[in-house]
Structure 1
Amino acid sequence: MPIIRVEMFEGRDPETKQELVKSLTTEMVRVTGCGEDSVNVIITDVKKENWGMGGDLASQKFPD
């Protein structure tokens, strides 16, 4: 049972997430030969204020 974990900034719509899940699943099946139904994708939305990059908060580097 492959598990793919994706952590990214919040704000993407469900359609974008669906496309990401489909693409990751397709590639996992292609590369490993596992069954599509066995692939799990877990998306964690993270607020920019909770993500540090190079010593700064992402919310400071990438303000909305």
Structure 2
Amino acid sequence: MPIAQIHILEGRSKEQKRSLIKEVTEAIYRSTGADHDRIRVLLYEIAEENWAAGGVTKAEEKLENR
């Protein structure tokens, strides 16, 4: 049973997340041949204050770029 774990920033619409899940499922199906109902996709939404690069959170970066 293939499992894809994806970490994304919060803020995407339900439709965007639904589309991502469908596309990832199809990619796994095409590359492995696993049955669709056996493929698992786990989305982890991370708050901007908990996502950082170079010591700066995404929330801080947004404030700086205003």
TM-score by length of 2: 0.87
TM-score by length of 1: 0.90
Report the Cα offset of residue 23 of structure 1: 0.2
SS of corresponding position for 1:31:
helix
| Equivalent in the alignment of 1:50 | 50
Quote the RMSD (CA, aligned, Å).
Answer: 1.4
Matches of 2:44 and 2:62 in 1, distance apart? Answer: 19
Report the Cα offset of residue 61 of structure 1: 1.5
What is the total number of aligned residue pairs between the two structures?
A: 64
Q: Percent identity?
A: 33
Consecutive aligned runs of 4 or more in structure 1 exceeding 3 Å deviation: none
SS of corresponding position for 1:62:
helix
Structure 1 spans left out of the alignment, 5+ residues:
none
